[in-house]
Structure 1
Amino acid sequence: MTAVATGRHRRGMSRQTRELWVLLLPALVPVLVFSVGPLLYGIGLAFTDAQGGRNRVTGFSGLDNFARLFTDSMFWQSMQVGLIWAVSVTVLQFLAGLGLALLLNERLALRGVARVLALVPWAMPPVVIGLMWRLVYHPDAGIVNSTLGTDINWLADFSWALPAVVLMGVWSGMPQTTVVLLAGLQNVPKELYEAGAIDGAGTWNRFRDITLPQLRPVIVAITSLNFVWNFNQFSLVYVLTQGGPGGRTRLPMLFAYEEAFQYGFFGYAASLGVTIMIVVLGLLGVYLWRQLREAS
């Protein structure tokens, strides 16, 4: 290639690069303004003593907020509740979503209608879902007590509040898991099932040896996303219980919200947010590392 041709090639590549950046800029600017910018601001705020109120001077506090955080029993309680909530809801969402996806993948009567109905919880706003489940768990007029013949105050009982909230979380988040797994099932080659049937593999063996291995990338992706979404959940639980009774359903994000907007400790709340982010990324990294190691 001559020097002239090389120069033209480089100019063409640089022009393509500029055009690419021009096309990407409208999408990158909102991300930088509404995601990266607030994230960096929140990280910086975590190292200050920022508080609510007029004429308050914000100063650099170093690691004081993090030192306070690690001696705060309410923080550790919220982390424990958050992990129980996130793991329970993620696992149950996957199991329920997989079962429903397998059912909707079969040639059943009114399968199209069933698929549409399965998406109903996904289309409902979180506030509406929370209010609806408050009625479901109502101690006097709720459908749960009416069906079971009990008089339990599910959302005020120290033993039943968290399981009741977990059930709501599973119901509200199951549709997206079902849709993703159903799409994965439809991409599994039919020839694999036919070959398995010819080899004499039963239904369970085909599911274990064909369906699950073929769905592994989809399972890793959706469970990872679900775990992040569930651990950072706020609106559903806030509407349903506001973190009660006695902090039994106070998720980490609820605790950070209270510290910031009820008590005005913005710096401390920011340190909570940074810590929660690190914990989520750490747990997610370990999970993905183990999944990739098993797949290799």
Structure 2
Amino acid sequence: MTAYGLLLPSFVGVGGFLLVPVVLVVLISLTRWDLISDPSWTGLANYTDLAGSAAFWNSLRVTALFTLMALPTSIVLALLLALAINRGLPGTSALRVVYVLPWVCAPLALGVVWRWLLDPSTGAANALLGTRIEWMSDPALALPAVAFVYVWSTVGYISLFFLAGLQQIPPSVYEAATLDGAGPVRTLFSVTVPLLRPTTFFVSVTSVIASFQVFDLVYGLTGAARGYPAGSTDVIAAHIYDEAFVALNLGRASAMAVLLLVVLVAVTLLQQRYFSRRITYDMS
């Protein structure tokens, strides 16, 4: 009873701010509600509408493409950055703080700043390249540009997890690899990467969830124009926001949120299944 009494504040927080909202979203998804009049029960009508909604499926497609662009790039660059920091060269402590600063800053503010930098007429990016590129106006470039900014803002944060994982690998493992004649590349792929699988699993799961929920960065980069240009940046979180607070259709927006939850749970389970037989916990 003492233990449960000490855990009670956490139970209240988890229940009030996590479980109850999830239940309410599921219930609202079964209604039609505009935030003004009383909700009206519609059953599964919102889900039926979404099944035939081209805009909804386009949002899922765009979000999946964004994740495929950003996630592998973030993980690879974060691992390389962690390897460089782990060498303990002079100044790495200060650089570690610099790398994390973009993640600490508000994503909406970063989006607005990068929209200025990518401006085709007065932006610093085109000034450095010496040519005019319509970064956020060309449908073929807009989503890669958003993915680039997202990677830039998160790679330092992800590298800290890899750095912590690297520091947990015993030096004797590397000594044994050296004695066996393994070079730097072979050591990286045969020793370091396998022993970092628990860290990679955690980073992959959390990064997928974060990338599927990206909103404020895209909101700032597109100037609050959902999907600009031509629906190429219409991520699912922006679609949910627009449906809820612009179209004032809370039921439909909640149904999209529930389907997003289902997708994230399914992807997480697939990742868990993939990594479950490939993780090494005992490094003694």
TM-score range, shorter chain: over 0.9
Aligned residue in 2 for 1:14: none
**Counterparts of 2:94 and 2:187, CA distance in 1:** 28
CA shift at 1:153, angstroms?
Answer: 2.2
Say yes or no: does 1:123 pair with 2:104.
Answer: yes
Aligned residue in 2 for 1:23: 6
Query: What is the aligned counterpart of 1:135 among 105, 116, 123?
Result: 116
Give the 3-state SS of the residue equivalent to 1:66 in structure 2: helix
How many residue pairs are counted as aligned between the two chains?
277
Query: What is the aligned counterpart of 2:21 among 31, 38, 45?
Result: 38
Offset from partner CA, 1:82-127 (integer Å, 9 cap, x none)? 0011222111110110110000011312122211211111221112
CA shift at 1:247, angstroms?
Answer: 1.4
Give the 3-state SS of the residue equivalent to 1:160 in structure 2: helix
Say yes or no: does 1:78 pair with 2:59.
Answer: yes
Say yes or no: does 1:96 pair with 2:77.
Answer: yes
Q: What is the letter of the counterpart of residue 35 of structure 1?
A: L
In structure 2, do the counterparts of structure 1 residues 294 and 113 end up closer, same or farther at CA, with 3 Å as the change threshold? closer
Contact 1:87 1:227 in 2 (8 A): no
Contact 1:232 1:252 in 2 (8 A): yes
Query: What is the aligned counterpart of 2:139 among 140, 158, 161?
Result: 158
* Correspondence 1:78-227 to 2 at 5 A: 78-227=59-208
Return the index of the structure with the highest Cα Rg.
1
Contact 2:96 2:156 in 1 (8 A): no
TM score, norm. by length of structure 1: 0.90
**Counterparts of 2:133 and 2:185, CA distance in 1:** 40
Q: What is the letter of the counterpart of residue 175 of structure 2?
A: E
Q: What is the letter of the counterpart of residue 206 of structure 2?
A: L
Gaps of 5+ in 1: 1-17
Say yes or no: does 1:68 pair with 2:17.
Answer: no
Q: What is the letter of the counterpart of residue 224 of structure 1?
A: V
**Counterparts of 1:131 and 1:206, CA distance in 2:** 42
Offset from partner CA, 1:54-95 (integer Å, 9 cap, x none)? xx2322211110010010000010000000112221111101
Give the 3-state SS of the residue equivalent to 2:32 in structure 1: coil
**Counterparts of 1:174 and 1:111, CA distance in 2:** 16
Query: What is the aligned counterpart of 1:288 among 269, 272, 277?
Result: 272
CA shift at 1:295, angstroms?
Answer: 4.2
TM score, norm. by length of structure 2: 0.94
Aligned residue in 2 for 1:256: 240
Query: What is the aligned counterpart of 2:257 among 273, 278, 281?
Result: 273
**Counterparts of 1:104 and 1:216, CA distance in 2:** 19
Contact 1:101 1:182 in 2 (8 A): yes
Q: What is the letter of the counterpart of residue 245 of structure 2?
A: F
Contact 2:198 2:279 in 1 (8 A): no
Identity of aligned residues (%): 31
In structure 2, do the counterparts of structure 1 residues 295 and 112 end up closer, same or farther at CA, with 3 Å as the change threshold? closer
Say yes or no: does 1:57 pair with 2:38.
Answer: yes
Give the 3-state SS of the residue equivalent to 1:159 in structure 2: helix
